[in-house]
Amino acid sequence: MNINEIKAKLKSFFDSVSMIQRGMATEALEAELAQIENIYALLIFGCFVGMPTPPVHITLRLLPEMQEELILMMNRVSVAKGPISELFSTLDVI
């Protein structure tokens, strides 16, 4: 093995590590984004669970932004039987 082959293998190794780290960081950010969207939905639709909500005119103006979140919330309600199901949906196990 000469020095160029060692350099190439090290570069390949570090490129692979970099790709793995970027993928893990992206997955963590996606999970955090999902949690932030849940908090946002809870702020907007908190009246259904007894929490104070923003004024109605603000809620109605934000409603079009919440279309995808509403669909996601309804899907989660239909499959949410426990914390394990939430973990699996967050980690995209299935």
Q: Which of 64, 66, 87 is nearest to 76 (CA)?
A: 87
**Quick check: 41 and 73 in contact, CB under 8 A?**
yes
Query: CA dihedral defined by 84, 85, 87, 93, rounded to 10 degrees?
Result: 110
Three-state DSSP at 53 gives coil
pLDDT at 16 exceeding the cut of 60: yes
Q: Which of 65, 47, 68 is nearest to 56 (CA)?
A: 47
Residue spans per domain, the chain: 29-91
77 vs 26, residue with greater confidence: 26
40 vs 10, residue with greater confidence: 10
pTM above 0.95, yes or no: no
Q: How many CB atoms lie within 10 A of CB 44?
A: 19
pLDDT at 80 exceeding the cut of 70: no
Banded pLDDT at 89 (limits 50, 70, 90): low
- pLDDT at residue 54, rounded to an integer: 75
